[in-house]
Amino acid sequence: MSYEYRDNLEKLDRLETFLGGDNADVPINLDAISNIRDLVQMTYLAELPQPEVFPYAGGKGIQSEWDYKDFYIQVDSDGESVELFVCMQEDSDKGINIKIKNIQCCFNIIKAILNGIE
């Protein structure tokens, strides 16, 4: 088990009781944690790079992101939906933002991007 994968799982476990970065007492939606945990596990099993994982400021949701070669990939989950943002690192204002309800579909897009980068 890679260090990054183990670290992400431990971080997600701690976030189940996290109340927001600004002490707003807003718990993170457990479905958001579940979505990102599934994404982390799928990327690990597919032997893809692990994302950075952290809560939204103020709680409620979780963000994961990859800075991989020339690409920036971000996944936000609030438990109700998943948003995927992809861009070239030098053109972050020209990215694509997609709202997705299924974390598996989100993973498939990320996998295609990460496997297609040389």
**For the segment 64-118, what is each residue's pLDDT rounded down to a tens digit?**
999 988 899 999 998 888 999 999 988 878 899 999 988 999 999 999 999 887 6
With beta carbons less than 8 A apart as the criterion, state whether 71 and 89 touch.
yes
What is the C-alpha separation between 38 and 68, in angstroms, rounded? 20
Q: Give the tokens for residue 79.
A: 């438990």
Predicted confidence at residue 12, as pLDDT, reads 87
Query: What are the residues whose beta carbons fall under 8 Å from the beta carbon of 87, sequence distance 6 or more?
Result: 71, 72, 93, 94, 95, 96
Instruction: Specify the number of domains making up the chain.
Output: 1
For the entire predicted model, the pTM comes to 0.85
Q: What range defines the domain where residue 86 resides?
A: 3-116
Instruction: Render pLDDT for 24-49 as a digit per residue (tens, 0 to 9).
Output: 567 788 899 999 999 999 999 999 99
Instruction: List the 52-55 sheet strands across, edge first.
Output: 52-55, 62-68, 71-77, 82-88, 96-100
